[in-house]
């Protein structure tokens, strides 16, 4: 017999699991299918984000930060420790425990919200039927009034530089290295390269990052990228711009890498090579030929502005479709689609989705960069404030970085906010709220900010737009 549902969600990453829970909360009979298997052999809903992405990377960033601070910054507080050491297995074990706690939490949330979970691989057939090859071995068939595809993404492999899971690795391998590599090579100075490169660099690896583009962190505001490059250089992350890796191969226990530079070819040797050159939509085995869902030239599931695919009542969200590959984008896209299915309003503004890079200092932004405003011919005013002039940042030993705000020259509406500094990931939320409400830099300047807090730097940057900052010369 075919089980029938109002909504069948394929994939239980941040896109799928949030959508499934929200749908069940709105009274839709909901099923969710996911194929992931955790380290303990059990179902591990949560997708890339919980298993091998956002959460494990932040766990390792946190552990490595403590180790780094104990060695380099605690002395100025009068704290000293002899024989500081890092037990990598304990650090990885802590990370695994956090992952298990969170994936187990999703299973509980499914039960509590009456989402029917199937552990297996799902394929969308025609007429809204879904076959599930369960991990247990049985195959079953489901039928849904609505289908939501949330199959996520996988790492892009460079042709000729195949992942082997041990020496040439992607994020999955880099989150599970069992000892600190003496030399770590990284291809791609993007978000993963910088975050995971920082983890192993703090633990003692000599990290070299190869970036194909001539410009560092071109997605960020130019002033923030410049400051970030300076901070990462101080941390001895060796970032080689304008550099293509021509080939890489494992010889013995080393990865031999050949790079193309303006001075010709160069050979380098690493203990591990992390390839982090972007991710691509994952749709393998997801779509039967006659299911009616089309893929784009880039292999993403094609959707319209409402996340509807080329097949009626079949939607797709998250990393598998266009737009930023971020967990919060994936989740909010799911909520918006479910709201529409339930006859409510569903909306997501890509322009107010915040970006965060969890390095030290953290980098966060929302809205337009200065270079985007220039390219679009939009007249703007700019205001900034350095954390070096913020009392809380100094007291906390985090004077690096700044807040930079961009507002419309005529209306003063906040168009972009760019932060590099401690807790930038949290500070950006205030700017997101301001932009969502179409607030102005004057609104931010008029809001009372607690003293002493890092958020006063946001306040002062807003005041600086009007040449009224108190703690800097405007």
Chain Cα centroid distance, residue 212: 21
Interacting residue with ligand NAD among 88, 98, 158, 388 (CB under 6 A) = 158
In three-state form (DSSP H/G/I as H, E/B as E, the rest C), the secondary structure along 368-412 is CCHHHHHHHCCCEEEEEEEHHHCHHHHHCCCCCCEEEEEEECCCC
Q: Which is nearer to ligand FAD, 118 or 167 (CB)?
A: 118
Respond yes or no on whether the N-terminal peptide bond of residue 126 is cis (omega within 30° of 0): no
Interacting residue with ligand NAD among 34, 211, 333, 430 (CB under 6 A) = 211
Interacting residue with ligand FAD among 106, 275, 286, 445 (CB under 6 A) = 286
Both tokens of 102, joined, read 């969170």
193 binds ligand NAD (CB under 6 A): yes
Q: Where are the beta strands (DSSP E) in 109-224?
A: 116-124, 129-134, 139-149, 153-155, 168-169, 183-187, 206-210
Tell me which of ligand NAD, ligand FAD, none is bound by residue 190, counting a contact when its beta carbon lies within the kind-specific cut-off of 5 to 8 angstroms: ligand NAD
Map tokens 């070096």 to a residue: 388
Both tokens of 206, joined, read 């000599």
Task: Output b/e per residue, 21-48; b: 16+ Cβ within 10 A.
Answer: bbbbebebbbbbbbbbebeeeebbbbbb
Tell me which of ligand NAD, ligand FAD, none is bound by residue 188, counting a contact when its beta carbon lies within the kind-specific cut-off of 5 to 8 angstroms: ligand NAD
Q: Determine whether 256 is exposed, middle or buried from the number of CB atoms within 10 Å of its CB (0-12, 13-18, 19+).
A: middle
Q: Which is nearer to ligand NAD, 115 or 356 (CB)?
A: 356
Stretch that binds ligand FAD, among 7-15, 220-228, 243-251, 374-382 (CB under 6 A): 7-15
Closest to 212 (Cα-Cα) out of 245, 237, 256 = 245
| Shortest spacing between CB 36 and ligand FAD, in angstroms | 4
300 binds ligand FAD (CB under 6 A): no
Q: Where are the beta strands (DSSP E) in 12-155?
A: 30-34, 116-124, 129-134, 139-149, 153-155
Interacting residue with ligand NAD among 200, 358, 365, 380 (CB under 6 A) = 358
Both tokens of 164, joined, read 């082997």
Q: Determine whether 109 is exposed, middle or buried from the number of CB atoms within 10 Å of its CB (0-12, 13-18, 19+).
A: middle
What sign has the CA pseudo-torsion 164, 169, 175, 178? positive
36 binds ligand FAD (CB under 6 A): yes
Q: For residue 438, report the phi and psi dihedrals to the nearest 5 degrees.
A: 55, 40
Tell me which of ligand FAD, ligand NAD, none is bound by residue 43, counting a contact when its beta carbon lies within the kind-specific cut-off of 5 to 8 angstroms: none
299 binds ligand NAD (CB under 6 A): no
Catalytic residue chosen out of the listed positions 451, 459, 466, 471: 451
357 binds ligand NAD (CB under 6 A): yes
What sign has the CA pseudo-torsion 172, 420, 281, 7? positive
Alpha carbons 272 and 64: distance in angstroms, whole number = 18
| Shortest spacing between CB 222 and ligand NAD, in angstroms | 15
221 binds ligand NAD (CB under 6 A): no
Closest to 239 (Cα-Cα) out of 198, 260, 208 = 208
Q: Which is nearer to ligand NAD, 41 or 214 (CB)?
A: 214
332 binds ligand FAD (CB under 6 A): no
| Shortest spacing between CB 261 and ligand NAD, in angstroms | 12
Stretch that binds ligand FAD, among 83-91, 261-269, 314-322, 344-352 (CB under 6 A): 314-322
The pattern of x and - marking residues 229 through 268 that bind ligand NAD according to CB under 6 A reads ---------------xx-----------------------
115 binds ligand FAD (CB under 6 A): no
Interacting residue with ligand FAD among 220, 237, 239, 330 (CB under 6 A) = 330
Chain Cα centroid distance, residue 47: 13
- Binding to ligand FAD (CB under 6 A): which residues in 432-471? none
Interacting residue with ligand NAD among 279, 404, 418, 459 (CB under 6 A) = 279
The pattern of x and - marking residues 48 through 87 that bind ligand FAD according to CB under 6 A reads xx---xx--x------------------------------
Closest to 169 (Cα-Cα) out of 158, 179, 473, 77 = 158
Closest to 352 (Cα-Cα) out of 315, 384, 373, 324 = 324
Q: Which is nearer to ligand FAD, 330 or 454 (CB)?
A: 330
How is 428-451 classified by DSSP, letter by letter? HHHHHHHHHTT-BHHHHHHS---S
- Binding to ligand FAD (CB under 6 A): which residues in 189-218? 192
Q: Which is nearer to ligand FAD, 53 or 386 (CB)?
A: 53
Is-catalytic flag, 451?
yes
Q: Which residues bind ligand NAD (CB under 6 A)?
A: 158, 187-193, 195, 210-213, 244-245, 276-279, 324-326, 356-358
Catalytic residue list: 451
Q: Which residues bind ligand FAD (CB under 6 A)?
A: 10-16, 33-36, 47-49, 53-54, 57, 121-122, 150-153, 171, 192, 282, 285-286, 318-320, 325-328, 330, 358
């Amino acid at each position: 017999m075919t089980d029938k549902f109002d909504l069948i969600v394929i994939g239980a990453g941040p896109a799928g699991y949030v959508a499934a829970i929200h749908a069940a909360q709105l009274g839709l009979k909901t099923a969710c299918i996911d194929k992931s298997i955790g380290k303990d052999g059990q179902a591990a809903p949560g997708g890339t984000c919980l298993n091998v992405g956002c959460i494990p990377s932040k766990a390792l960033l946190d552990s490595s930060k403590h180790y780094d601070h104990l060695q380099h910054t605690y002395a100025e507080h009068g704290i000293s420790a002899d024989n500081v050491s890092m037990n990598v297995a304990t650090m990885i074990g802590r990370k695994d425990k956090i992952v298990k706690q969170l994936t187990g939490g999703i299973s509980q949330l499914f039960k509590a919200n009456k989402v029917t979970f199937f552990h297996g691989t799902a394929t969308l057939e025609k007429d809204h039927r879904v076959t599930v090859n369960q991990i247990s071995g049985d195959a079953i068939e489901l039928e849904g009034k609505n289908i939501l595809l949330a199959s996520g993404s996988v790492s892009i492999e460079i042709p000729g530089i195949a992942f082997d899971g041990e020496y040439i690795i992607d994020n999955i391998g880099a989150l599970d290295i069992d000892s600190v590599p003496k030399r770590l090579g990284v291809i791609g100075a993007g978000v993963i390269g910088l975050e995971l490169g920082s983890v192993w660099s703090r633990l003692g690896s000599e990290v070299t990052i190869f970036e194909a583009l001539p410009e560092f962190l071109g997605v960020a505001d130019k002033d923030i990228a410049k400051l970030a490059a300076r901070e990462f250089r101080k941390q001895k992350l060796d970032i080689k711009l304008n550099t293509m890796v021509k080939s890489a191969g494992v010889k013995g226990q080393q990865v031999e890498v050949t790079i193309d530079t303006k001075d010709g070819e160069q050979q380098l040797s690493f203990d591990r090579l992390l390839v982090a050159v972007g991710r691509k939509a994952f749709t393998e085995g997801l779509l039967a030929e006659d299911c009616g869902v089309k893929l784009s030239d880039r292999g993403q599931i094609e959707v319209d502005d409402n996340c509807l695919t080329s097949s009626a009542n079949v939607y797709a969200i998250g990393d598998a479709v266009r737009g930023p590959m971020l967990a919060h984008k994936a989740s909010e896209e799911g909520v918006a689609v479910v709201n529409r299915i339930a006859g409510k309003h569903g909306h997501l503004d890509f322009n107010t989705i915040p970006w965060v890079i969890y390095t030290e200092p953290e980098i966060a932004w929302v809205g337009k960069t200065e270079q985007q405003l220039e390219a679009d011919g939009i007249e703007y005013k700019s205001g900034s404030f350095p954390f070096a002039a913020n009392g809380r940042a100094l007291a906390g030993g985090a004077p690096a970085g700044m807040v930079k705000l961009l507002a419309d020259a005529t209306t003063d509406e906040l168009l972009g906010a760019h932060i590099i500094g401690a807790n930038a990931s949290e500070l950006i939320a205030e700017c997101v709220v301001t932009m969502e409400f179409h607030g102005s830099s004057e609104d931010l300047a008029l809001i009372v900010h607690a003293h002493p807090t890092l958020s006063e730097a946001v306040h002062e940057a807003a005041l600086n737009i009007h040449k009224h900052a108190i703690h800097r010369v405007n």
